[in-house]
């Protein structure tokens, strides 16, 4: 079992790092506001513990030994990491402020980000929101984006990430359509109904509708007489009585709330957790980014 590092050894490393960088015990003592003898004793204890000489000492000079140079470089890295920990702690206490630039696709921006802005700014009035909605993948670092919300599986990258809460893929229809045409009780009955499907602009392919039947998940592509290439258009057409459509629950929620849409085949709906928040890697996460992420998770 490894011996834990004690306070005395840590203070010795700080003294050693400062003396090695400044070239004398006296200069190290002045920078740390302690006596030269305290610096000397701390380093001597460290040398006894390591079992090596860290300095070659003369009356006029203090030079790192070969072993001392290697250990000095590693101790400096350790102290840099300690400084980063302090920065993270200070950041956690800091009040969110400044411009928060967010990138999202149209469905995410319209149904997830925009509804959260008013409440977020009431809590954090010093944060200004710059929301950029586009279905193209943006270069976060190149375009100065602080936070991106993306849906789907993502390639590995150096970006920091956090999965957002799951949502449901479910069928929806207007009350008027269901009164006119009836309510299906099983996905197999969709062939007898009018449906509205989504065509992906990026690939030209239509959405394959997933359903959970028993312990298995199946996919079907209904023979839809109406196909559109925007998810908002699916909801609008379905709400107008064009048929049954499939949508994410976070998108359909406002329509359901105002009773323009009704869930259909909800017992066969599937859950997905593939919405991810991404932000550039840095020394610490901006307080505004962390606060907005927390708000998104609370809302959903």
Following DSSP, what letter does each residue of 225-268 receive, concatenated?
A: SEEESSHHHHHHHHHTTS-EEEEEHHHHHHHHHTTS-EEESGGG
**Would strands 55-57 and 62-64 be described as parallel, antiparallel, or unpaired?**
antiparallel
Task: Give the up-direction half-sphere exposure of residue 2: CA atoms within 13 A in the CB hemisphere.
Answer: 3
Stretch 245-268: mean pLDDT: 96
Residue 284 or residue 220, greater confidence: 220
| CA-angle at 255, arms to 100 and 261, nearest 5° | 155
- Please write the tens of the pLDDT for every residue from 65-82: 999 899 999 988 888 888
- Please write the tens of the pLDDT for every residue from 263-277: 999 999 999 999 999
Q: Do domains 98-165+274-298 and 167-271 have the same CATH topology?
A: yes
Residue 272 CA from chain centroid, whole number: 17
The confidence score (pLDDT) of residue 89 equals 65
The whole-angstrom separation of Cα 169 and Cα 165 is 14
The confidence score (pLDDT) of residue 82 equals 81
- Helix residue spans in 23-164 (DSSP H): 25-32, 36-50, 66-93, 106-108, 114-123
The confidence score (pLDDT) of residue 284 equals 46
pLDDT at 287 over 60: yes
Band of residue 171 on the pLDDT scale cut at 50, 70, 90? very high
The confidence score (pLDDT) of residue 283 equals 39
pLDDT at 96 over 50: yes
User: For residues 11-40, b (16+ Cβ closer than 10 Å) or e, as one string?
Assistant: bbbbbbbbbbeeeebebbbeebeeeeeebb
**Whole-number percent of the chain with pLDDT over 70:** 93
The confidence score (pLDDT) of residue 247 equals 96
**Whole-number percent of the chain with pLDDT over 90:** 53
The whole-angstrom separation of Cα 197 and Cα 192 is 15
The whole-angstrom separation of Cα 215 and Cα 268 is 11
pLDDT at 93 over 70: no
**Domain 7-92 classification at class level:** mainly alpha
Mean pLDDT of the chain: 88
Band of residue 92 on the pLDDT scale cut at 50, 70, 90? low
Question: What is the gyration radius of the CA atoms in the chain, in angstroms?
Answer: 30
What's this model's pTM, rounded to 2 decimal places? Answer: 0.66
pLDDT at 234 over 80: yes
Residue 15 CA from chain centroid, whole number: 39
The confidence score (pLDDT) of residue 64 equals 92
Report the topology of domain 98-165+274-298.
D-Maltodextrin-Binding Protein; domain 2 (3.40.190)
The confidence score (pLDDT) of residue 4 equals 65
Residue with tokens 């269901």: 178
Stretch 230-240: mean pLDDT: 95
Stretch 183-205: mean pLDDT: 93
CATH code of the domain made up of 167-271: 3.40.190.10
pLDDT at 156 over 70: no
Stretch 99-123: mean pLDDT: 91
The confidence score (pLDDT) of residue 201 equals 83
User: For residues 174-195, b (16+ Cβ closer than 10 Å) or e, as one string?
Assistant: beebbeeeeebeebeebeebbb
The whole-angstrom separation of Cα 35 and Cα 149 is 54
Inter-residue long-range contacts of 199-207, CB under 8 Å, 24+ positions, other chains counted: 199/227, 199/228, 199/229, 200/229, 201/135, 201/229, 201/230, 202/135, 207/246
pLDDT at 298 over 50: yes
What residues pair up with 151 in beta bridges, in sequence order? Answer: 275
The whole-angstrom separation of Cα 230 and Cα 110 is 12
Candidate from 10-19, 253-262, 279-288 with smallest mean pLDDT: 279-288
- Please write the tens of the pLDDT for every residue from 112-128: 999 999 999 999 999 99
């Amino acid at each position: 079992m490894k011996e834990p590092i004690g306070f005395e050894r840590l203070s010795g490393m700080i003294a050693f790092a400062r003396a090695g960088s400044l070239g004398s015990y006296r200069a190290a003592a002045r920078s740390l506001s302690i006596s030269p003898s305290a610096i000397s004793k701390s380093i001597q204890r460290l040398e006894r513990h390591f079992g090596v000489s860290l300095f070659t000492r003369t009356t006029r000079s203090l030079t790192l030994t070969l072993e001392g140079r290697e250990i000095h470089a590693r101790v400096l890295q350790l102290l840099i990491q300690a400084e980063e920990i302090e920065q993270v702690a200070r950041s956690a206490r800091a009040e969110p402020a400044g411009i928060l630039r967010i990138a999202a696709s149209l469905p995410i921006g319209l149904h997830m980000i925009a509804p959260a802005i008013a409440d977020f700014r009431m809590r954090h009035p010093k944060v200004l929101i710059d929301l950029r909605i586009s279905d193209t993948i943006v270069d976060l670092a190149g375009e100065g984006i602080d936070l991106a919300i993306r849906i789907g599986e993502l390639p590995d990258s150096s970006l920091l990430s956090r999965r957002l809460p799951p949502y449901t893929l479910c069928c929806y229809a207007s009350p008027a359509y269901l009164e006119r045409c009836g309510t299906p009780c099983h996905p197999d009955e969709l062939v007898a109904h009018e449906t509205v499907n989504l065509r992906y602009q990026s690939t030209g392919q239509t959405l394959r509708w997933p359903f959970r039947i028993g312990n298995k998940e199946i996919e079907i592509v209904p023979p839809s007489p109406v196909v559109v290439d925007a998810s908002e258009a699916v909801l609008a057409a379905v709400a107008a009585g064009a048929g049954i459509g499939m949508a994410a629950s976070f998108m359909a929620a406002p329509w359901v709330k105002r009773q323009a849409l009704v869930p259909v085949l909800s017992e066969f709906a599937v859950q997905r957790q593939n919405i991810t928040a991404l932000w550039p890697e840095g020394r610490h996460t901006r307080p505004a980014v962390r606060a907005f992420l927390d708000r998104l998770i609370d809302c959903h």
